[in-house]
Amino acid sequence: MHFAVGKLVTFDGSDVLVLIAVPLILLALACFFRFSAVGTALRATAENADRASLLGIPVRRLQSVVWGLAAALAYVALFLRVGVGGQILGRVLDPAVLLTALGAAVIGRMERMPTVVLAAIGTTSRRRIPSVTRC
């Protein structure tokens, strides 16, 4: 399945899946952290773990939730990356890819999600542009 924008740029089905899935996942994460009790507790723990513990928030249990959430997001990211790149698993876990993600997180100071997202788009857009058909 191919989609074309004009005559020069074509998108595969995997590209479209990423364009749909990533904003939905970001929206779900934003809603989770803003509106759920666990998300609010996670934000309080990130702000000041000692104070959150004194207020009765189970900090250790929430750390397990964070690691589980990170593992699930890493799996989804790996799945989407392999689908778009068509690469073997070893190439997807290349240190250059991991350093690019870390660089985007550092640009966002590890706390500003919109900045991290824009930095990730900016740093990876140079690496892979959808196939361009030459005339």
Residue range 21-55, pLDDT digits in tens: 999 999 999 999 999 999 999 999 999 999 999 99
Q: Give the pLDDT band (50/70/90) at residue 4.
A: confident
pTM: 0.69
- In this model, does residue 134 exceed pLDDT 50? no
Q: Give the pLDDT band (50/70/90) at residue 135.
A: very low
Kindly list the domain boundaries of the chain, sorted by start residue. 2-86, 94-128
| pLDDT score, position 125 | 65
Q: What is the mean pLDDT of the chain?
A: 83
Q: Of 65, 50, 59, 47, which is closest to residue 111 (Cα–Cα)?
A: 47
Residue with tokens 């350093």: 99
Cα-trace Rg, the chain: 18
